[in-house]
Amino acid sequence: MTDILIERAANIEALEAELRADLGALVKGVSAGPYGVMLHLGDQAAARDIQQARAIAAAHDPAVRTPQQIAIQQRQQRLAQERADHADPLNPVDYIPGVGAPQAELIARLAARLAWLETEIRDLRGL
Amino acid sequence: MPATWTPPLTWTTDQLVTASDLNTHLRDNLEFLKDPPTTAALLNESANYSTTSTTFVNVDATKLTLTLTTSGGAVLIGFSGMCLNSGGTFAIYFDVDIDGARFAGDDGITGSAAAAVEHFAFAILKTGLAAGTHTFKLMWRVSGGTGIFYTGAGTANADIHPYFWAREV
């Protein structure tokens, strides 16, 4: 393993994607901590590979997110909105057919709650 | 200065026992057993650690690398901390590098999918170490996603201080 210490902030997922786009399987990952940012390259990394990795890290913009990070953020925003939309506990009395709203509307409301619960479960499972 | 271990004498009949013998073979050895070589790191950092590496790498080559000078006994090594994989279904694995070789190999000593903040802990006994100075490095990797290792950096509900230690036994 060839470790390269970079003393700057980074979005490590985005930086890894940028490194992989250029250096391919030579890139083993990126780590960060109080010490800074560490680029992990394979043992076979040549001097020019290390130089290229340093150049990519220097040009890296930590504010730019990966498509996956954007998707995760959008999912969290949708989930937060759905939680707000369903803040009131479900009251079974509201769903008795023929008492209140038309049956089609009741089914639609139940389906919306079910879809929200499915989203919550998928989020808990990290899917 | 901590006492050092001296292989105890085998006493013989009519042997003259000097103060030096008693100090070396009884006092010093008892003091060594009472307070054996020990080293530990309790972290309280300003930022958490993170990694995307799918190959084992040091968590922190400085703060989580322990050095211990032993007298040839086994070494008990322990770790406790909290981690999360922000990628959801991916796992985090831990191992210890001892003098340049990983203790367990393969996927390490412990590992788990950590879609939520999860506790990781282990205690291992390393035998067969010669007397001398040894290094113990905490290592980790992920199967995908980004592993987050909490360091007491003030993260809400995860302001956890990891502890990594080694002691000759």
**pLDDT, tens only, A46-74:** 999 999 999 999 999 999 998 888 888 88
Q: Per the CB < 8 Å rule, is B57 touching A28? A: yes
- State mean pLDDT over B45-61: 96
Judge whether A13 is closer than 8 Å to chain B, CB to CB. Answer: yes
pLDDT of residue A99: 74
pLDDT of residue A124: 77
User: Complex ipTM above 0.85?
Assistant: no
Q: Per the CB < 8 Å rule, is B49 touching A12? A: no
CA atoms within 13 A on the CB side of B121: 5
Residue B159 identity (one-letter amino acid)? D
Instruction: In whole angstroms, give the CA distance from residue A71 to residue A76.
Output: 9
Judge whether A106 is closer than 8 Å to chain B, CB to CB. Answer: no
Instruction: In whole angstroms, give the CA distance from residue B15 to residue A126.
Output: 72
- The answer, yes or no, to whether residue B1 has pLDDT greater than 70, is no
- State mean pLDDT over B49-67: 96
Q: Percentage of chain A with pLDDT > 90?
A: 55
What are the C-alpha distances in Å from B80 to residues B3, B77, B88, B119, B151?
Answer: 29, 11, 21, 7, 11
B67-87: buried (b, 16+ CB within 10 Å) or exposed (e) per residue?
A: ebebbebebbbebebbbbbbb
- pLDDT confidence tier of residue B22, bands split at 50, 70 and 90: very high
Give the count of Cβ contacts less than 8 A between chain A and B.
76
Contact status, residue B91 vs residue B120, Cβ threshold 8 Å: no
pLDDT of residue B104: 96
Which residues from chain B sit within 8 angstroms of residue A35, using beta carbons?
Answer: 60-63
Q: Locate B93 and state its tokens.
A: 């694995």
Which residues from chain B sit within 8 angstroms of residue A33, using beta carbons?
Answer: 45, 47-50, 59-60, 149, 151
Which residues from chain B sit within 8 angstroms of residue A73, using beta carbons?
Answer: none
Angle (deg, nearest 10), helices A12-23 and A67-85: 150
**Measured between CB atoms, which of B45, B57, B116 is closest to A34?**
B45
- State mean pLDDT over B73-99: 93
Which of B46, B48, B51 should be substituted to probe chain A, the one whose Cβ sees the most A Cβ atoms within 10 Å?
Answer: B51
What are the C-alpha distances in Å from B137 to residues A113, B41, B107, B150?
Answer: 49, 11, 16, 17
Judge whether B61 is closer than 8 Å to chain A, CB to CB. Answer: yes
Judge whether A60 is closer than 8 Å to chain B, CB to CB. Answer: no
pLDDT of residue A62: 92
pLDDT of residue B127: 97
- State mean pLDDT over A5-34: 94
pLDDT of residue A126: 67
pLDDT of residue A48: 95
Contact status, residue B125 vs residue B169, Cβ threshold 8 Å: yes
- The answer, yes or no, to whether residue A122 has pLDDT greater than 90, is no
Between B88 and A89, the more confident residue is A89
B66, B63, B144: which is closest to B111 by C-alpha? B144
Q: Which region holds residue A126: left if phi is over 0, alpha if psi is between -120 and 50, else beta?
A: left
Q: Per the CB < 8 Å rule, is A29 touching B61? A: no
Q: Locate A3 and state its tokens.
A: 């470790």
Q: Percentage of chain A with pLDDT > 70?
A: 98
Q: In a 10 Å sphere around its CB, with 0-12 CB exposed, 13-18 middle and 19+ buried, how is residue A105 labelled?
A: exposed
- The answer, yes or no, to whether residue B2 has pLDDT greater than 70, is no
Closest-CA residue of A relative to B46 is: A34
B80, B156, B154: which is closest to B118 by C-alpha? B80
Between A106 and B135, the more confident residue is B135
Residue range B98-133, pLDDT digits in tens: 999 999 999 999 998 777 788 999 999 999 999 999
Q: Per the CB < 8 Å rule, is A34 touching B88? A: no
Instruction: In whole angstroms, give the CA distance from residue A68 to residue A109.
Output: 31
- The answer, yes or no, to whether residue A42 has pLDDT greater than 80, is yes
